[in-house]
Amino acid sequence: MENNTVKVGLVGFGTIGGGVADILLNKKEEIRRKTGKAIELVKICDKDTASDRGVQIPDGILTDDLSEIINSPLDIVIELIGGLEPARTFVLNFLKAGKDVVTANKALVANHGPELFDEARRLGRTIAFEASVCGGIPILSSIASSLQANTIKSIDAICNGTSNFILSQMEGKGADYDGAVKEAQRLGYAEANPSMDVDGTDAVQKLTIMAQLAFGVKTDWKSIPRTGIDIVKSLDIRFARKLGKRIRLLATAKRVSGGVELKVSPTLVPETSPLAKVCDAFNAVQIIGDFVGPVFYQGLGAGRKPTASAVCSDVIDTALGRTRITFDALNLWGPGRESVPAVDPNQTSETAYLRLKVEDHPGVLAKTTGILGQHGVSISSLLQEADDDSSGANLIILTHEAPSGSLAAAIEEINSSSFVLEKTVKMSVRD
């Protein structure tokens, strides 16, 4: 992009699109002063050309005809429609039409990264995607650039704002789960289908992208062990407190011998840890590098303004040629890129929090602990209380570190026992 004027098109004029238009139209002069580039938003495409997006746009730039984007002499197209199709086909068409692409679409990058990045390389184009992970937190550029001298040892991310918001509401206000989901949707944090937030899908897709950048891990996100916050009950929050912990949905990547361990799970973290202090819709990422040690990033991971901040930063980087340098150097999902394998989830080990609902009869506790013992799972503490909604009892068991395969086998055997009233819930525990 030699020219000092860079022409930009935007596809998808929803909550984030409105924020992006706000920045590109209203901060145009400031951006030109800082970068020397005149970045012009010249076309916006959306099926809905009538709704108010809270931003004044010049007459004639909003269209519902995608061919106006494809056929205009645009340098950069921003994809903000979300989801897999037609987003994938649109992005391929933008690349073919000679446009560089900026996207906030984590599902697209996590599912179709290899295909899209190969195609961009083949066509000599770039794709920038900072906004796809943790919204306003510049986490991808930190991993790819600022921390590049380090061998990354681990990543712990609170990367789903909706889940953190719900946990905070349950923790602080004893809130009702459905109300918290609706509020997260109203504030623009939640996905169109919020089950992808609360079942851990959103977090695992973001983890897949971070793991590709940090370790070169090429893995299908569906193969990563995933538990969402939809299993968390108020009683877990209460028991966690008794244990001096808070529950956070953690997406974790950890370098171990033979590869990288990947997991998304509600996790009991010590109440004094920085992760426990991340509340509401905030996201946070803790990275440990071999030279830098632990670094901690926190900020808003969703919503109109933080996400628009990341999208526009990618637009500016692309206009300035910075994206081209990192895109070529990173060779994401490309042949010859260093790639660390994801380890088999059953070959890992963990400390677990187990919640069982069992019949309150003599011998049930002995049978339960017996099954754990037979599978080599050692117990570090155990709490019991009567269940409010049944004649059964809730058993909370904290294990010592145990092989994940043994834990899974023990839970399966417990779940098939006649004294068990509900499927056993497992969360991870951090010391």
User: Which residues are at the interface with ligand HSE (CB under 6 A)?
Assistant: 106, 160-162, 189-191, 197, 202, 301-302
Catalytic residue among 37, 206, 263, 426, which? 206
CB of 190 to ligand HSE, least distance (A): 5
Pairwise CA distance, residues 19 & 136, whole Å: 12
Q: Are strands 127-128 and 100-103 parallel, antiparallel or unpaired?
A: parallel
CB of 311 to ligand HSE, least distance (A): 12
* Of 18 and 301, CB closest to ligand HSE: 301
CB of 385 to ligand HSE, least distance (A): 32
CB-neighbour burial class of residue 193 (10 A; exposed 0-12, middle 13-18, buried 19+): exposed
End-to-end CA distance of the chain: 50
* Of 45 and 311, CB closest to ligand HSE: 311
Give the number of other CB atoms < 10 A from CB of residue 390.
Answer: 13
Pairwise CA distance, residues 51 & 231, whole Å: 37
Pairwise CA distance, residues 397 & 384, whole Å: 9
CB of 204 to ligand HSE, least distance (A): 12
Annotated active-site residue 27? The verdict is no
* Of 137 and 354, CB closest to ligand HSE: 137
* Of 210 and 319, CB closest to ligand HSE: 210
Residue 150: which residues within 8 A CB-CB, separation 6 or more? 289, 290, 291, 292
**E-state strands within 257-405:** 259-270, 282-289, 293-300, 349-350, 352-358, 379-386, 393-399, 402-403
* Of 302 and 429, CB closest to ligand HSE: 302
Pairwise CA distance, residues 186 & 242, whole Å: 33
CB of 292 to ligand HSE, least distance (A): 26
> Where in the sequence numbering do the catalytic residues fall?
206
